[in-house]
Every structure is written in C-alpha cells, then in structure tokens.
Structure 1
C-alpha cells in the first residue's frame, strides 16, 4: 500500500477532482460577486436590505469553502489525496480554508446547533442581522446568523468568519482550476505550468 506522500492521481482521472472543485469555487464566487454588488449599492444608498438574501449568499460562500476544504484536508483514510492536492494547488497550513470554523459549515452543522444551545447561553436572541457590528453594551446580543458589513464577516452560532481572505483564496484556486481545464483537464504540474498565480493588474 502506498504511503500518503507517495499518493498520485493518474492524469486521466484528474478531471474528476478539477470538475468537482470547480463547481464549488464557481458557486462561492457567484455569491461573492453578489455581496460585492450589495456593498456597492448599499454605499450609494441604492439598496433596500433583504437580510435573508444577504445572509444566504454569505453563508453559501462559507459553505462552499467548507466543502472545498475537504478536498485538501480529507479524513485520515484519504489523507494521501489531500497531500497531493495541497501540493498541486499550493495550499498550505496557513490557508483560510483549513479553519475548523469554515469546515464546520459543511460538516455536521445540525450537531453544532445542538451543542450551541446546550451551552445554556443567555442574552437577547436574534435570528438574523445585517449591519455594522453592534457595540458590547448591556445584555449580549446573540445572533443565529449575522453579517457585519463593516468587517465583511459572518457570525453564526457564536463563531465569526471573515470573508475577504477566504474569498481571495477561493479565487486563487478557481483560477488554477480554470487554467487546468483549459490545459486538457489535468493538474497544473501536469499541464507544464506550475506558476498559475493570479496575474498582477
């Protein structure tokens, strides 16, 4: 049996991973574009906030990031594949995709709700919120889902996830995947170009 560091995905099979991950990055970036448009319109006073639509797009970005993360950090049984994909797509331990808070959005979320409410938390509860992060005065404000527009951060079940770095990493991987598709549906190293960084503007 091959050791994890010797794991290799045969080039004819690489498109399975490329296509699967590309579906995740595309879905996340569609929502990221929507959120950018929301911010632009909000700043110009042209947007009536639909909290649920905003929160659904923000949560979708994090959910897709969590699903993408599993390709790079799978369960122990498939660790070799994770090592291979991290090498090919230059994903290291500092990647925001590795965040456990991000992973938890795609794994066992129902159980996270159970654990949260078992903590006997107290305060003023709100199902949803979109706006600047409220100041800490008096009884704590507790949100199931909140998007802080001043920080571009999602808070859900008491965990805060900042979007800019996450979206940047998703975009970087998306560009690699798209170029891999254009290079015969093979990984960057197999395509003869290992430097698929985003071009400087």
Structure 2
C-alpha cells in the first residue's frame, strides 16, 4: 500500500469502481439500524396498549441496543480510528462523508457511544468493580425517568420514555438525534444521491 500513495491521493482514498463496496457495507448497517428503529416504534406502540407493558421491556431495549450498535459500526466508515498508511482511512472517510453529505458534528460520530458498545464487556467489569453497587439496581428498565434522590441508581440498560434518553452504566444518550441522522442518510441513500 505504501507504493500506492499517488493513487490514494488522486482518488481521495476510494477508487471510483470501489465505491460500491463501501456503499454495500454502509447499507447493511444503515438498513439494519432502520429496521430496528421500525421495530422499536412497533414495540412502543404495543406497550401503550398492553396490559403488562413490562413484557416488552427486553424487545424495546434490544432494538435500541441494535440501533446503537449499527450506528457505532456505521460511524467507523465516516470517522476511522486511525489514519492508515498514506492516510488511506482518513481520506476514505472524508470522501464518504462528502458523498453521503454527513457533517462533522453529526450525532452518529459520538465516540463515547462507540467506545461504550465496542468495549461493553470491559465497561461492565469496570462499572461493577469500581464501587459498591448499592441502591436501586435495574438490569432492564423502560418507563418514565424517576426522580433521582440521594439513593444511587444503577442501570445496565434503561430507556426513559418521557425524555427519549437511553442509559447504560452511567452513559446517557438522547437517541432521537441519532435516529434523525440515520433517516437523513437513509433518505439520501434511497434517493440514489450516494451511488
């Protein structure tokens, strides 16, 4: 790859014939995230009509986690971890952001989200061993956000229906901007803008 510097620079990290490969990779994560959003909406609507709304807690949290995992994977195409030899990864990412019209302040860029999900096993170890786990412990919660008083609250996965906030091990994310961005990219992809 070192002898390809001239071509990497000329084609800004992606040869024209290779763009379809990136498009397919992005499409997978994007469509998977969108399918999870649609399932989430169905679950939330069903939860409102359900006699036992707790029966949908895991499907709701699973769909949110799926949205976020696919978003984190998607963000790697647009913001790589390292620059690569001859800055190929950096140039490819810049080309893709330009082609998909993604702004540098995009909500899918969230490094905290990426790091949290990619290292969830390690984050869980650190969280559970960093201090005594006392107070209110919720492995899975869906409902309105409760008033936090002096007693600590611990959530492995929680979705607060009144605020749209997802919380996991202290990390809090407003998922609506992420969903909005996913649909913005999806609409552009569906319109054929990015091919």
Q: TM-score, normalised by structure 1?
A: 0.81
What residue is the counterpart of 2:44 in the other structure?
39
List per-residue Cα deviations over 1:28-65 (Å, max 9, x = no partner): 11111122223333345567332111110111111111
Shift of 1:103: 1.2
Alignment counterpart, residue 26 of structure 2, candidates 12, 21, 29: 21
- Determine if the alignment matches structure 1 residue 97 to structure 2 residue 103: no
- Determine if the alignment matches structure 1 residue 112 to structure 2 residue 123: yes
Q: How does 1:184-195 map to 2 (within 5 A)?
A: 188=194
Q: Give, in whole Å, the separation in 2 of the partners of 1:4 and 1:47.
A: 58
What residue is the counterpart of 2:68 in the other structure?
62
**In the superposition, relative to structure 1, how do residues 121 and 6 fare at CA in structure 2: closer, same or farther (>3 Å)?**
farther
CA RMSD after TM alignment:
2.3
- Determine if the alignment matches structure 1 residue 48 to structure 2 residue 53: yes
SS of 2:19's partner is: helix
Contact 1:72–1:82 (CA under 8 A) maintained in structure 2? yes
Question: Hey, which bits of structure 1, 4+ residues long, moved more than 4 A?
Answer: 2-6, 44-47
What residue is the counterpart of 1:197 in the other structure?
none
**In the superposition, relative to structure 1, how do residues 81 and 95 fare at CA in structure 2: closer, same or farther (>3 Å)?**
same
Q: Give, in whole Å, the separation in 2 of the partners of 1:118 and 1:175.
A: 43
What residue is the counterpart of 2:91 in the other structure?
80
List per-residue Cα deviations over 1:90-128 (Å, max 9, x = no partner): 212210011122212442222222332343154322211
**In the superposition, relative to structure 1, how do residues 116 and 4 fare at CA in structure 2: closer, same or farther (>3 Å)?**
farther
Q: Give, in whole Å, the separation in 2 of the partners of 1:43 and 1:126.
A: 21
- Structure number with the higher helix fraction is 2
| Residues paired across the two proteins, number | 183
List per-residue Cα deviations over 1:174-196 (Å, max 9, x = no partner): 2222333xxxxxx63xx5xxxxx
Moved more, 97-106 or 114-123: 114-123
Contact 1:5–1:84 (CA under 8 A) maintained in structure 2? no
Q: How does 1:165-180 map to 2 (within 5 A)?
A: 165-180=177-192
What runs of 5+ residues in structure 2 fail to find an aligned partner? none
Q: TM-score, normalised by structure 2?
A: 0.83
